[in-house]
């Protein structure tokens, strides 16, 4: 079954909307993303993802320290290659670091890492080495294209997370085209020995396309689960996504038979 990493950033976003400037711990800032992580794991999530952004707009340092202690499954820290954040990661030692591009003005991560420029690659290579030396698995968030896959393999990353945002935003034929790009990137990455994950913009409907790609071992989903949780509760929202992911092996077996 495809593993589910629940991204709790948007729980932290809601908390920060009210408590960003509060200096004391009273009243207790809510909702607590750590509690969300506990509930998500109890409801069956295989891992928890949190993005420590350079501007700390949602997840803050205290959150990742606590997550490092309470997450039983995979703790995946999304982060840029900025020195301050790399140092925090080396202290907290998540199971995995997912390196993502980060721009201050963006509302959310808008694209995969740029792996074309030599300088960028050199910087990433140094960060990957430092994380790997502390036994933190490294995943690179990339767009579904062959050059990015090959660059990630050359950088000796452990995994790639394929950006599914364009697929999520497309309809009809365009969505099928995007899905085919994801499939090709996934096949190539797996062929090069990389673990393959996917994420961004995935929801209870568009996840169906991803289930049909057997190379994808894990999805990281935040916004749709947190949104659905408003109405059905966090545990139920996670359980419903897990139920959809459970279709995956059946679909693959069917594909093999036909
Ligand atoms: N994966 C990565 C690398 C991301 O940057 C994000 C967004 O923080 C996600 C997954 C989750 O995206 P969404 O909140 O749209 O499910």
Kindly tell me the burial class for residue 164, based on how many C-beta atoms sit within 10 Å of its own C-beta (0-12, 13-18, 19 or more).
Answer: buried
Please tell me the predicted confidence (pLDDT) of residue 128.
98
Residues lining ligand 1, judged by CB closer than 6 Å? 7, 9, 51, 78, 98, 100, 108-109, 141, 161, 199-202, 220-224
Could you tell me if 40 and 48 are in contact, meaning their C-beta atoms sit under 8 angstroms apart?
yes
Task: Show the tokens assigned to 185.
Answer: 């990137």
Q: How far apart are CA 128 and CA 126, in angstroms?
A: 6
CA of 117 to the centre of ligand 1 (A): 24
CA atoms 238, 76, 81, 182: torsion sign: negative
Q: How far apart are CA 31 and CA 254, in angstroms?
A: 42
Nearest CA to ligand 1 atom 11: 200
Q: How confident is the model at residue 247 (pLDDT cuts 50, 70, 90)?
A: confident
Nearest CA to ligand 1 atom 12: 200
Counting ligand 1 atoms within 8 A of each CB, the residue from 3, 6, 7 with the most, and so the one to mutate, is 7
Q: Which residues are catalytic?
A: 51, 78, 200
Q: What percent of the chain has pLDDT over 70?
A: 95
Please tell me the predicted confidence (pLDDT) of residue 51.
97
Please tell me the predicted confidence (pLDDT) of residue 144.
98
In this model, does residue 251 exceed pLDDT 90?
no
In this model, does residue 15 exceed pLDDT 60?
yes
Q: How confident is the model at residue 106 (pLDDT cuts 50, 70, 90)?
A: confident
Please tell me the predicted confidence (pLDDT) of residue 255.
47
Please tell me the predicted confidence (pLDDT) of residue 90.
98
DSSP assignment of 97-166, as one string? EEE----TT-SS--S-----SHHHHHHHHHHHHHHHHTT-EEEEEE-S-HHHHHHHHHTT-SEEEEE-HH
Could you tell me if 192 and 149 are in contact, meaning their C-beta atoms sit under 8 angstroms apart?
yes
Kindly tell me the burial class for residue 89, based on how many C-beta atoms sit within 10 Å of its own C-beta (0-12, 13-18, 19 or more).
Answer: buried
CA of 12 to the centre of ligand 1 (A): 14
Q: What percent of the chain has pLDDT over 90?
A: 85
This prediction has a pTM of: 0.94
pLDDT digits (tens, 9 = 90+) for 57-68: 999 999 999 999
Please choose, from the candidates 60, 19, 36, the residue with its C-alpha nearest in 3D space to the C-alpha of residue 228.
36
Q: Average of pLDDT values for 167-173?
A: 97
Q: How confident is the model at residue 109 (pLDDT cuts 50, 70, 90)?
A: confident
Q: Which atom of ligand 1 is nearest to the CA of 9?
A: 8
Give Cβ neighbours of residue 72 (< 8 Å, ≥ 6 apart): 41
Q: Which atom of ligand 1 is nearest to the CA of 223?
A: 14
Q: How far apart are CA 50 and CA 71, in angstroms?
A: 11
Paired with 148 in beta bridges are: none
Q: How confident is the model at residue 257 (pLDDT cuts 50, 70, 90)?
A: very low
In this model, does residue 41 exceed pLDDT 60?
yes
What are the φ/ψ torsions at residue 234 (nearest 5 degrees)?
-65, -45
Please tell me the predicted confidence (pLDDT) of residue 258.
38
Please choose, from the candidates 32, 73, 15, the residue with its C-alpha nearest in 3D space to the C-alpha of residue 49.
73
Q: Average of pLDDT values for 197-217?
A: 97
Let me know how long the chain is.
Answer: 258
Domains and CATH numbers, the chain: 3-257 (3.20.20.70)
Q: How far apart are CA 133 and CA 95, in angstroms?
A: 13
Q: How far apart are CA 240 and CA 238, in angstroms?
A: 5
């Amino acid at each position: 079954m495809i593993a589910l990493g629940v991204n709790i950033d948007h729980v932290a976003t809601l908390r920060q909307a009210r408590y960003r400037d509060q200096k004391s711990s009273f009243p207790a800032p809510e909702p607590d993303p750590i509690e969300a992580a506990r509930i998500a794991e109890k409801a069956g999530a295989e891992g928890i993802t949190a993005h420590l952004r350079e501007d700390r707009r949602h997840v803050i340092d205290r959150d990742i320290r606590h997550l490092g202690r309470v997450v039983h499954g995979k703790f995946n820290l999304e982060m840029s290659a900025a020195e301050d954040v790399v140092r925090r990661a080396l202290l907290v030692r998540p199971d995995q670091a997912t390196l993502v591009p980060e721009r201050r003005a963006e509302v959310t991560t808008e694209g995969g890492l740029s792996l074309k420029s030599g300088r960028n690659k050199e910087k990433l290579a140094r960060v990957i080495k430092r994380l790997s030396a502390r036994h933190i698995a490294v995943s690179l968030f990339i767009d579904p294209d062959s050059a990015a896959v090959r660059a990630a393999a050359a950088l000796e990353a452990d995994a790639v997370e394929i950006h599914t945002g364009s697929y999520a935003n497309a309809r009809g034929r365009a969505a099928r085209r995007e899905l085919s790009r994801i499939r090709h990137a996934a096949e190539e990455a797996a062929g090069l020995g990389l673990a393959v994950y996917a994420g961004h913009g995935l929801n209870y409907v568009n996840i169906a396309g991803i289930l049909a790609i057997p190379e994808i071992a894990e999805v990281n989903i935040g916004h749709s689960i947190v949104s659905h949780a408003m109405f059905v509760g966090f545990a139920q929202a996670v359980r419903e996504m897990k139920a959809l992911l459970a279709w995956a092996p059946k679909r693959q077996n069917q594909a093999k038979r036909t």
